Amino acid sequence: MKISSFFIGIFLSVSCFAAKIEVDITGMTCGMCVEAITKELKATEKTENISVNLEEKKARFAELKDKKITDAEIKSAIKKAGYEAVRIRRN
């Protein structure tokens, strides 16, 4: 009984974590690109820990655990900044 309770507790705690998201982005050329993408992802009010890497042409962030962000919302935010999200991965 104690073992099953342990595994149920682990399952519930893992399922409560917010998704980590990585996005490949085209069109970035400078630091202003990084700032624009960061600003628009933050403006969704569904993301945290945003990191945009110019050399890798990627954005990495976590979605807030109580506010899910859709792929369409991610693409829209990046498009609003003037760029294109070409691949979105969640883990």
List pLDDT tens digits, range 24-78: 999 999 999 999 999 999 999 999 999 999 999 999 999 998 999 999 999 999 9
CA nearest to 60, candidates 32, 83, 88, 28: 88
11-35: average pLDDT: 83
CATH of the domain at 58: 3.30.70.100
Count of structural domains, the chain:
1
The C-alpha atoms of residue 91 and residue 72 are separated, in whole angstroms, by 17
Residue numbers of the domain that contains 63? 18-90
Return all residues near 60 (Cβ < 8 A) that are at least 6 apart.
20, 21, 22, 23, 49, 50, 51, 52, 53
Q: Is residue 8 part of a domain?
A: no
Residue 26 lies in a domain: yes
**88 or 11, which is more confident:** 88
Q: Distance between CA atoms of 30 and 11, rounded to whole angstroms? A: 42
Is residue 75 situated within a structural domain? yes
